[in-house]
Amino acid sequence: MKKFINDPTHFVSEMMEGLILANPDTLRWKKDSNIIYRADAPRHDKVSVIQGSGSGHEPAHIMAVGKGMLDAAVPGNVFAAPPMDYIVECFKLMNTPKGILHLVNNYQGDRMGWDMAREMAEAEGIRTELVVIDDDVSVENSTYTVGRRGVAGNFFVIKAVGAAAEQGEDLDELVRIGKKVNGVVRSMGMALTGCTPPAKGEPIFTLADDEIEMGVGIHGEPGRRRDKIKPADQLVEEMFEAVAGDLPFSKGDRIGLMINGLGGTPISELYLLYRKAALLCRDRDLTVVQNYVGEYCTALEMAGYSITLIRLDDELETLMKAPAEIPIRTF
């Protein structure tokens, strides 16, 4: 293992400390519970929107905290759901009279931990609602899931409910919007390499020089098949068909298109991939209203990418274009 680390057990906390030192005016850190939150949260005139999952997917979710996005994020260790008591602390810290919306990607560990924490919080009189994200079309069930996995589509759910929360919408309305987004967003990823969690010290899986994992999960879970590397356009075509055919997206749709790097793919290659995806959209008469090229949901240093399509209507388009400010980007 060759990584920029001091001590594997300090990986997550030192990353959070760096994030706080870089954003002293906008972010706060509750160190003993792994909570990164907005300096102005909780605000009593809005619903708090929170999320937490394993670390290693940055910028998801601690770097998606900011105005117009998450109010707080509570990560666990690398690829491990946050402990329940941390989540309960996050509920208490972010409690507002308008309640809390928590977003959960569909993994068993996350689902159970958040469900339990939510029961505990509600027993203390905190009002919470839940939206589950399961946008990955690669496989129907997976190593850590019953049902589809939640991956980069998560960004669009955060963006939409974050914007609506900022406008003062109530909890029920945010649930409606969150579920609506999850219903129209689809993703698929693939890997050129595995990745190495610092505490594990060795790769979760390895691929030969000429091998790819098509449909890989963001924790290195197996996808549809292991295959030989092909020209980039062919890889994009296969994944685009799988994603676009799933909803399905149809002629005339207005869409958002995301090419998301999994952590070890240069931005140059991401734009090369975006080129083909955008051309396929044009061929299919899908109008790309919003595009996102970069890292939104990663798997440590895995080389690979995912493609996400979201079907927009007037409501969602407005929410996607609403201002937002997080450490990695201003919208």
Partner 1 sequence: MNTLTLADIETIVDTMVSVALAHEDEFSQLDGLCGDGDFGASLATGFDAIRTQWAELDRTSISAFALKCSTIITSKTGGCSGPLWGTAFMRFGIGARGRESLSLADLVALSQAAQAGMMARGGAKLGDKTLLDAMDAATTAIQQTADADGSIPRAFAAAARASAAATETAKSWTARRGRQSFTGNRSRDTYDPGMVAVTKMLEAVSTCFPIST
Residues at the site binding partner 1, with contacts judged by CB under 8 A: 83-85, 88, 108, 112-113, 115-116, 119-120, 123
Q: How far is the CB of 205 from partner 1 (least distance, A)?
A: 20
Closest to 160 measured CA to CA, from 180, 140, 146, 145:
180
Task: Give me the residue label for tokens 């998801």.
Answer: 60
Task: Of 187, 155, 218, give the one whose Cα is nearest residue 307.
Answer: 187
Identify which of residues 85 and 140 has a Cβ nearer to partner 1 in the complex.
85
Q: How far is the CB of 157 from partner 1 (least distance, A)?
A: 24
- The residue (of 120 and 270) whose beta carbon lies closer to partner 1 is 120
Q: Which helix (H) or strand (E) holds 171?
A: helix 171-184
Q: Which is nearer to partner 1, 115 or 227 (CB)?
A: 115
Does 57 participate in catalysis according to the annotation? yes
Selection from 131, 244, 238 nearest residue 185 by Cα? 244
- In the complex with partner 1, which residue's Cβ is closer, 84 or 247? 84
Tell me the CA end-to-end span of the chain in Å, nearest whole number: 36
Q: C-beta of 82: minimal distance to partner 1 in Å?
A: 10
By C-beta, is 33 or 291 nearer to partner 1?
33
Q: At what angle do helices 314-321 and 171-184 cross, to 10 degrees?
A: 100
Beta-carbon contacts of residue 94 (< 8 Å; ≥ 6 apart): 37, 41, 42, 48, 50, 71, 72, 100
Least distance from partner 1 to the Cβ atom of residue 90, Å: 14
DSSP 45-95: TS-EEEE---BSSTTTTGGGBSBTSBSEE---SBTSPPPHHHHHHHHHHT-
Residue 10 is a catalytic residue: no
Q: How far is the CB of 54 from partner 1 (least distance, A)?
A: 15
Which has the closest alpha carbon to 107: 136, 149, 74, 57?
149
3 state DSSP class of 221: coil
Q: Catalytic pick from 10, 44, 57, 102?
A: 57
Catalytic residues: 57, 219
